[in-house]
Structure 1
């Protein structure tokens, strides 16, 4: 049973998957094409980048405030990323969106998905998978944002992340962003947009 501070499961979908599978790309497509879906905004201790708006891209908070809120149980999930900054999903924002009747989507990593599952096991957990291992390697290398050593480390992590697929309620193959997004929206109980 979910704890009393957890949001109601109705309307909550968690999307996770391995590195370079395209979670962010699918979420961006949904944000741009499905205004009825509320995408969670994470809190972070990192400084805003140029053009980022507090409350839109992230909730920018101090490390002290993050620690205080984590200790108070204010996060559904949180993690330290790359050993430096903290990121987390605030329970209050998710609960408010669900209470408003919104379909809520959390696009998070596997560690975060496991934390949410412990808090809200009734939520809908969706695993985004690559069409093949070779395609995932191509996507990771093709982004050009990591060094060869970092790419290798991420691919080793991806092997472990792919093994977590059975922990999820559903799997979507990300062979086409629009198709994957439409399938996810359908799993959320919404009707995909006609094209």
Structure 2
């Protein structure tokens, strides 16, 4: 049997930089980015099938009923989910897939009883101090004040789940964060359990 790929679940509060880390490693050919399904509206510049699979609430719930999701959750009033078939296709080809998902989704994937998922699984939590997080959220200029406050409250709650992760990356400088993230990807690729 050829080597399997790694499933790296990357979680952290909105604004922690997790999406940037996942996208950059994908752009540099170090990983494949898991494209999640969501019921939220596209943000300016986002494309269906590139950033997310944008679904209606009805279509999303049909996939839930059919058991097609590896994980799914409701976050900030919107549904998000990852198609199990997409993830298994990638790891069977020996590639690393990064999954940018919240703590609820990570818990579902971590608890999955599929032996291939369990064998290939790893996770990292991106932690960012609250004052830095607020600065980043405001700097994005994509959310209203009430949304920013909700995201800050949710971040404090998500941080309580940090101990459930195999790795924690304490965010600071974006370049240093990415350097450490690449090191983690390299180390995971050397795991003997995937041979």
**CA 1:63–1:161 in structure 2 vs 1: closer, same or farther (change >3 Å)?**
closer
Instruction: Quote the residue 2:179 is aligned against.
Output: 182
Corresponding residue to 2:138 among 138, 141, 144:
141
**Distance in structure 1 (CA, Å) of the matches to 2:151 and 2:45:** 28
Following superposition, the deviation at residue 158 of structure 1 comes to 1.1
Q: Secondary structure of the residue that 1:77 maps to in structure 2? A: strand
In structure 1, the residue matched to 2:18 is: 23
Higher helix share: 2
1:150-180 CA-partner distances (Å, limit 9, x unpaired): 2222211111111211110011122122322
Does residue 39 in structure 1 map to residue 33 in structure 2? yes
Structure 2 gaps, min length 5: 189-195
**Residue 172 of structure 2 aligns to a residue in which SS?**
coil
Q: 1:88 aligns with which of 75, 78, 81?
A: 81
User: Do the aligned residues in 1 keep the contact of 2:5 with 2:92 (CA within 8 Å)?
Assistant: no
With normalisation by structure 1, the TM-score equals 0.79
> Could you tell which deviates more after superposition, 164-173 or 138-147?
138-147
Structure 1, gaps ≥5 residues long: 1-8
Aligned residues: CA RMSD? 2.6
Tell whether the 8 Å contact from 2:9 to 2:98 is kept in structure 1 after alignment.
yes
- How far, CA to CA, are the matches of 2:42 and 2:20 in structure 1? 21
Residue 76 in 1 paired to residue 70 in 2?
A: yes
Q: Please tell me whether residue 171 in structure 1 is matched to residue 165 in structure 2.
A: no
Whether the 8 Å CA contact 1:26–1:178 is kept in 2: the answer is: no
The number of aligned residues is 181
